[in-house]
Structure 1
Amino acid sequence: MKALSQLDELNLDAAAKTQVAALVQALLEQANKEAEKYQVDLQAKDLKIQALILELAHLRRIRYGVRNEALSSIQRDLFQEACNEDIAALEAEVEQAEDEHSSSTVTKPKRPRAGRQPLPPHLPRIEHRHEPESCQCGRCGKDLVKIGEDITEQLDVEPAKFFVHRHIRPQYACRPCETITAAPIPPAIIDGGMAAVGLLTWVMVSKYLDHLPLYRLEQIAARDHVILARSTLAEWVGRTGVALQPVADRLIEMLLERGTLHADETPVPQLDPGSGKTKRAYLWAYRSNDLEEGPRIIVFDYRGGRSGEHARQFLGTWQGHLLVDDYGGYKVLFSAARQEASPCIELGCWAHARRKFFDLHKANASSMALEALTRIGKLYAIEQQGKALGIEARQQLRAEQSQPVLDALHQWLTQTRASTANGGGSAKAMDYTLKRWPAMIRYAETGHLPIDNNPVENTIRPIALGKKNWLFAGSERAGQRAAAIQTLLGTAKLNGIDPAAWLRDTLEKLPTWPNSRIDELLPFARPVEDVKTQHDNDG
């Protein structure tokens, strides 16, 4: 090497030259080994980054390539949640690997982030002002002049914070009369109870809206050294449920005054005492029609089974259009004997009809199913056009555009079915629609009837997800109580009202509220701003 050859030019004795040559050789060998190790590490990091990028691309392809109905609604929600978590984790690992890969002497530019929605304006703001260390220029020493501000916002949260309301009631005595006077004890939902309205609201919302079992609330309180026994929490829930029942009953009365209803049901495991097992009960859901005037209402009805008799008992003498799926239990409502007593007219759900063809196309790429999906898609495109229209304008739109599409669809289905063998998936998909054709086309004859049952299915879905947490209902009474609370909180959500703010406001008023003014407490009686303002003032 050149370095070693230059040793001969130095004025060194032979022993010194040999010693220096050995030292230089050792240093060169060590440098070569470190360079080789660096290359190996560099190659390994390159491979790791490539693997992470490939995995990230694969997950994104899966995430954004999922068809709307490839999974059930519950499975799809859980899948997307897990997939999004994995994608975020992989992006972080890629960034970390790239940071380690890049030279420490090179400043890496910040990765551009996608734009985000502004944070809600109603949230309180805590300002943190960050001034430079000096107000003089670091180069010339002259005073700096403010020309603007760079403002960024971060969203923060404060977990449930327990505190104590201390009520002091001075007592005054009249010595001549020998009497004692003190302010009366304020009325409360639970007389003599230690739970304030805010705590009761937290328990009810956590249990019925966030689907947290009471033992988890017990653990949350224990972290703040607050002892809330499950038996105490259960007593609060029971008593609060009784106090709120009249409000839920009034919602049922108002719902049954509507002319069109959605109906659906979901199974709920109920504890079977003595057997150590659970039995199947059902939570029935009845929802108002969004295309009609009036506030939105969702009512849940807990029953011990799925028999159509339960729906008949709930509806009583109700008359109108009922939109349901093809479950046989509803057929009793549309029977001839039922029609004589109280007309209940069936509406078919195009979302269910579409799902039959979707499943068929997914299973074997059926061209017939694809044609059916295309034709049904035209019906939904027309509904999207009429979404913002009034009832009369929507009826005209359906008459001009939906009716021709339906007529052509019926003719095509009839002809195609005639040439299709019985018993197969294609025949079953077409039979579902053809056998219910009168119920399927009724919506298009009006401007106020809905095309499908999706509104009630979307409302009932959070409960179907939430029951994975609380596992089962402890008793039929507990199920009925849950149905009443879900009715109130669900209706508040449908009308854009903060359920927690509404519940707190209602629990404060209920102890002294007259039954004659119960409508004023309903979760749509006041604008959401009023409820939130009242809640903020109380806080």
Structure 2
Amino acid sequence: MIRAERAARLAAEARAGDLEVARAALELARLEVTQAHAARYALELEIERLKLQIAKLRRQHFGTSSERSARLDQLMLALEDLEESAAHLDAEAEAKDAAAPDAPKWTVEELKRAKPARRPLPEHLPRRRMVLPGPTACACCGGGLRKLGEVVTETLERIPARWVVVETVREKFSCAACETITETPAPFHAIPRGRAGPHLLAEITVGKFGLHLPLTRQSAVFAQEGVDLDVSTLCDWMGAVAVATQPLSALIAEHVMKAERLHADDTPVPVLAKGKTKTGRLWTVVRDDRPFAGTDPPAAVYFYSPDRKGEHPQSFLKSYSGLLQADAYSGFGQLYEPGRVTGTATEAACWAHARRKFFELAELRKGPIAIEAVKRIDVLFAIEREINGRPPDERRSVRAAQSKPLADDLESWLRAQRGRLSPKSETAKAIDYMLRRWSSFALFLEDGRVCLSNNAAERAIRGIAVGRRNWTFAGSDVGGHRAAALYTLIETCKLNDVDPRAWLADVLARLPEHPAKRLDELLPWNWKAPSHQQAAA
């Protein structure tokens, strides 16, 4: 009897112990769920803070000043990482909620964030309908069913690239009477002796010069898809594409040089030499009349040079005599000198470049003069944002009323501050940069076509800087010229909101038989997508 009572007591104690263990596990689960929700919403708060900073930078962003674009890139990377982390924690919290349904839900109102509205999937994409089989009888009584409607769930999917071999068959015939053999003439290819179709050539070209993917990486991707294309083969194709499209590059360059105002800039490009690399330059010249309501299409042309001697910009700009917006590079100097046969170009200095010098001093050294200079220049940029896209006369009128008093006051203030500084001071050098060229800086007050910055050219060379990090260097000077020609085509497409891959594929297919007198029909701003592409879109 005593043994039975003892056994019962031990069993009850064991059950009580199990219950305590279960309760402890439940409390631990609740704590983990609460901590997961807390961590997630802390990250969401950080996301909102970063988004606010990005929004402020974008409002302040006039063109692409380098220090702002660098900050913007850093914030976007941080935001991307935080959003991924928040989604990760959200999935973990949902799984723990399901495992511990009795755990308290995190419902702090201050931490809640409205979910972004889910945008509908693009209407132009084809729909592949998959109907799930429905029940044939009522689950409750077994009676017959009648259809009331449908519930459709859409999922975005991407089908991997599909490779095909196009066989062009030319039938041969023999005359029954005289046995003369007749054969259909061979079709033209996008490139001479080319075994690559225009769409493949366009994808490779835009992949390298538009998406910054080296040919070695593209070759590896193709191999993974079951098509072995040697890098040397891709190189041959790139050279052939550059030659085939050279007439279009020349027409774009001709169009650019007819502009009333141009932007110009350059960037270094490592070039492979004997046993080492040397530094070549890629120059861009951009025509964009949209800021002053111009109707001519925008375009960009690129040039390559093996070094940065002034003779190179003087060569490709030798026929130009309009407004030139550029930095203070001395190589442009001869273009502004009187007595040029083609006429003197007029220098319009870049306020963003001048501001950058003060910004670096303000950010790194917290210099009060530099900080004040940045604030004053930013007020001018704020006015410019309001008149961007208006006609020249209207821009000049607004500038005369609002910008001129500020610019005159800035000049007087800079001269006063310069008198108090040592000539060796970095702030004095930044001030001298502006005062020595003040007439060029102040030109925007007199001419409504002038922009306050040279950001149009800086935007055009940004892709080269990205590509340079991926493909490391150009193989030769010839490769540099080829890159310049292909960048000309792709960047001009982008400026005109044309898909460069679709454009290049269609142009490569049409060029061999297209009349030379009507080549302007194929320029990006005149090009119209073929009817089958428009239908697909």
Whether TM exceeds 0.5 here: the answer is yes
Q: Contact 2:444 / 2:450 at 8 angstroms: preserved in 1?
A: yes
What do the CA deviations read for 1:109-146 (whole angstroms, capped 9, x no partner)? 99952125554444334445668657979799897785
Structure 1 unmatched ranges of 5 or more: 1-12
Match in the other structure for 1:157: 158
Secondary structure, aligned partner of 2:258: coil
Structure-2 residue corresponding to 1:279: 278
* Residue number in structure 2 paired with 1:289: 288
Contact 2:198 2:508 in 1 (8 A): yes
Distance in 2 of aligned mates of 1:141 and 1:354: 79
Task: Give the Cα–Cα distance (whole angstroms) in 1 for the partners of residues 193 and 429 of structure 2.
Answer: 62
Q: Tell me the equivalent position of 1:18.
A: 6
C-alpha distance in structure 2 between counterparts of 1:491 and 1:391, whole Å: 24
Q: 1:49·1:97 contact (CA, 8 Å) conserved in 2?
A: no
Q: 3-state SS of the aligned residue for 1:284?
A: strand
Q: Distance in 2 between matches of 1:41 and 1:538?
A: 52
Corresponding position of 1:329 = 331
The whole-number CA distance in structure 1 between the counterparts of 2:120 and 2:359 is 38
Does structure 1 conserve the Cα–Cα contact (< 8 Å) formed by 2:50 and 2:79?
no
Give the letter aligned to residue 90 of structure 1: S
Q: Relative to 1, partners in 2 of residues 1:538 and 1:91: Cα closer, same or farther, differing over 3 Å?
A: closer
CA distance in 2, matches of 1:118, 1:324: 44
| Matched residue, 1:30 | 18
Greater mean deviation of Cα atoms: 236-245 or 60-69 = 60-69
Say which of 53, 67, 79 aligns to 1:84.
79
Deviation at 1:89, TM superposition (A): 2.5
Query: What's 1:422 paired with?
Result: 423
Counterparts of 2:342 and 2:534, CA distance in 1: 51
Inter-partner Cα distance in structure 1 for 2:464 and 2:246: 20
Cα 1:392–1:194 change in 2 (3 A) is same
Q: Which residue of 1 aligns with 2:117?
A: 115
Which one has a bigger Cα radius of gyration? 1
Distance (whole Å) between structure 2 residues aligned to residue 492 and residue 83 of structure 1: 31
Q: Which amino acid aligns with 2:299?
A: I
Secondary structure in 1 matching 2:245: helix
Q: In structure 2, the residue corresponding to 1:531 is in which secondary structure? A: coil
**Partner residue in 2 for 1:354:** 355
Letter in 2 for 1:484: A
**1:493 positional shift:** 0.9
Amino acid at match of 2:16: L
Q: Distance in 1 between matches of 2:72 and 2:482?
A: 27
Conserved 8 A contact 1:137-1:143 = no
1:513 aligns with 2:510: no
Is the CA contact 2:338–2:344 (under 8 Å) kept in the aligned structure 1? Answer: no
Question: Which shifted more, 350-359 or 131-140?
Answer: 131-140
Query: Pairwise CA RMSD of aligned residues?
Result: 3.2
Distance in 2, matches of 1:295 and 1:390, equals 16
2-structure distance, mates of 1:27, 1:508: 81
Distance 1:74 1:219 in 2: 32
Deviation at residue 408 of structure 1 after TM alignment? 2.1
Residue 299 of structure 1 is aligned with which of 298, 301, 306? 301
Partner of 1:6: none
The answer on whether the counterparts of 2:271 and 2:277 sit within 8 Å (CA) in structure 1 is yes
2:236 paired residue number: 235
Q: How does 1:494-505 map to 2 (within 5 A)?
A: 494-505=495-506
Task: State the distance in 2 between where 1:288 and 1:474 align.
Answer: 29
Find the aligned partners of 1:451 and 1:467 in 2 and give their Cα distance.
Answer: 28
Letter matched to residue 470 of structure 1: W
Letter in 2 for 1:98: A
SS in 1 for 2:280: strand
SS at match of 2:188: coil
What is the identity, as a one-letter code, of the residue corresponding to 2:431? M
Matches within 5 A, 1:450-461: 450-461=451-462
Please tell me whether the aligned partners of residues 318 and 342 of structure 2 are also in contact (alpha carbons under 8 angstroms). Answer: no
In structure 2, do the counterparts of structure 1 residues 64 and 278 end up closer, same or farther at CA, with 3 Å as the change threshold?
farther
Map of 1:320 onto structure 2: 322
User: Residue 531 and residue 422 in structure 1: after superposition, are their counterparts in 2 closer, same or farther (change >3 A)?
Assistant: same
Cα 1:131–1:307 change in 2 (3 A) is: farther
Please state whether the residue corresponding to 2:469 is helix, strand or coil.
Answer: helix
- Distance across 1 between alignment mates of 2:154 and 2:369: 53
| In 2: Cα distance, 1:63 partner to 1:210 partner | 26
Shift of 1:301: 0.5
Tell me the CA shift for residue 378 of structure 1. 2.5
Unpaired stretches in structure 2, ≥5 consecutive residues: none
Paired residues of 2:337 and 2:344 also in contact (CA < 8 A)? no
C-alpha spacing 1:100/1:203, structure 2 compared with 1 (3 Å): closer
The equivalent residue for 2:529 is 531
Task: State the 1:485 CA deviation.
Answer: 0.8
- 1:98 maps to which of 89, 93, 102: 93
Distance in 2, Cα, partners of 1:506 & 1:368: 55
Instruction: State the TM-score, normalizing by the size of structure 2.
Output: 0.87
- Counterpart residue identity of residue 283, structure 1: L
Letter in 1 for 2:369: M
Q: TM-score, normalised on structure 1?
A: 0.86
User: Aligned with 2:467: secondary structure?
Assistant: helix
Structure-2 residue corresponding to 1:5: none
Distance 1:144 1:74 in 2: 60
Quote the Cα distance in structure 2 between the aligned partners of 1:211 and 1:517.
Answer: 32
Change (3 A) 1:112 1:312: same
Distance apart, 1:93 and its partner CA? 3.0
Q: Which SS does the other structure have where 2:399 is aligned?
A: helix
**Alignment-mate amino acid for residue 196 of structure 1:** G
Q: Which moved more, 1:412-421 or 1:240-249?
A: 412-421
1:103: how far off?
Answer: 5.3
Q: Which is bigger in relative contact order (C-alpha 8 A, separation at least 6)?
A: 2
1:380 Cα deviation after fit: 2.0
Instruction: Tell me by how many angstroms 1:151 deviates.
Output: 6.1
Letter matched to residue 249 of structure 2: A
Shift of 1:206: 1.3
Contact in 2 for aligned 1:505/1:534 (Cα 8 Å): no
8 Å CA contact 1:286–1:456 kept in 2: the answer is yes
* Partner AA of 2:78 in structure 1: C
How many angstroms does 1:42 deviate by?
A: 4.6
Counterparts in 2 of 1:60 and 1:532: CA distance versus 1, 3 Å: farther
Change in CA separation of 1:123 and 1:47 when aligned onto 2, cut-off 3 Å: closer
Whether 2:466 is the aligned partner of 1:465: answer: yes
Change in 2 beyond 3 A, CA 1:507/1:445: same
Partners in 1 of 2:72 and 2:186 — Cα distance?
Answer: 48
- Between 474-483 and 204-213, the greater mean CA deviation after superposition: 204-213
Give the match for residue 308 of structure 1: 310
